[in-house]
């Protein structure tokens, strides 16, 4: 598997471009940087199949429509966040006073299912708390954690649909059961590991 990280969009979200040796590709969180990322896709000869949303907040879905229009890739989101795609009060675009129209999801995701893209296999882990349909994606020894888990931090739970107790439960029961050496790639900020967060994240010292 190959990966390139782009820090883009209004709140410097991490967009992850993943692809296999056959150049089948996907994006996790199409936050922005369309020209830059499309250029990389063209230079590497990639076929973008999926745009996967870790959750439905504006700073992670802002470029969904642009990428889909340019590549024909399908938009995937957990079924409990599907309504966020076109509701500016839920996705927070209204907070930024932005007029925003997103495409509807082409496919709804559910806990435990496997997203197949070429030889890539991504397991959907439903981790509600930041939003009702927040997910993490486990592929090989890498976890893409969206806004659920950060390096020495966790996602906000004070926004519409958030639930702090549920967020901590998601992290404890769904993520902290993973191996220490799993590398964590969050929706914002730097990468970390499950082991580092287990012992050093101040929000997880129960």
Beta carbons of 85 and 104 less than 8 angstroms apart: yes
CATH code for the domain defined by 2-204: 3.60.15.10
Amino acid 206: pLDDT? 67
The reported pTM is 0.96
What whole-number distance in Å separates Cα of residue 23 and Cα of residue 8? Answer: 23
Please list the residues that pair with 144 across neighbouring strands: 137, 185
Amino acid 158: pLDDT? 95
Amino acid 205: pLDDT? 85
Amino acid 196: pLDDT? 98
Tokens 């820090």, residue?
7
Kindly state the DSSP code that residue 47 receives in the 8-state scheme: E
Residues 6+ apart with CB under 8 A from 154: 148, 167, 168, 171, 201, 203, 204
Inter-helix orientation angle 34-44/64-71, to 10°:
30
- Sheet order of strands, 13-19 included: 2-8, 13-19, 24-28, 47-52, 74-78, 107-109
Q: Which of 111, 32, 101 is nearest to 79 (CA)?
A: 111
Residues 6+ apart with CB under 8 A from 102: 61, 64, 65, 85, 86, 91
Q: Per-residue pLDDT for the chain (206 aa), expressed as one digit of tens each?
A: 999 999 998 789 999 999 999 999 999 999 999 999 999 999 999 999 999 999 999 999 999 999 999 999 999 999 999 999 999 889 998 876 666 777 899 999 999 999 999 999 999 999 999 999 999 999 999 999 999 999 999 999 999 999 999 999 999 999 999 999 999 999 999 999 999 999 999 999 86
- Buried b vs exposed e over 107-140: b needs ≥16 C-beta within 10 Å? eebeeeeebebbebebebbbbbbbbbbbbbbbbe
Q: In this structure, what token pair is assigned to residue 106? A: 């082409």
Question: What are the domain boundaries of the chain?
Answer: 2-204
Tokens 């890498």, residue?
142
Calculate the CA dihedral of residues 138, 133, 131, 97 and round it to 10 degrees: 110
Amino acid 97: pLDDT? 60
C-alpha 162: how far from chain center: 16
């Amino acid at each position: 598997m190959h990966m390139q990280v782009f820090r883009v969009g209004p709140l410097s979200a991490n967009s992850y471009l993943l692809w296999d040796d056959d150049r089948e590709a996907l994006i996790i969180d199409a936050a922005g940087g369309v020209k830059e990322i499309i250029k990389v896709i063209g230079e590497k000869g990639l076929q973008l199949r999926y745009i996967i949303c870790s959750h439905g907040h504006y700073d992670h879905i802002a470029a969904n429509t642009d990428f889909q229009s340019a590549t024909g890739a399908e938009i995937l989101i957990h079924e409990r966040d599907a309504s966020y795609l076109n509701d500016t009060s839920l996705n927070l675009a209204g907070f930024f006073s932005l007029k925003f129209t997103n495409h509807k999801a082409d496919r709804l995701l559910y806990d435990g299912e496997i997203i197949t893209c070429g030889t890539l296999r991504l397991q959907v882990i439903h981790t509600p708390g930041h939003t009702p349909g927040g997910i993490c994606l486990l592929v090989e020894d890498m976890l893409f954690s969206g806004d659920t888990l950060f390096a020495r931090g966790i996602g906000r739970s004070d926004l519409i649909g958030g639930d702090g107790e549920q967020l901590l439960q998601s992290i404890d029961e769904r993520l902290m059961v993973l191996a220490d050496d799993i590398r964590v790639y969050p929706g914002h900020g730097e990468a970390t590991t499950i082991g580092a967060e287990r012992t050093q994240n101040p929000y997880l010292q129960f």
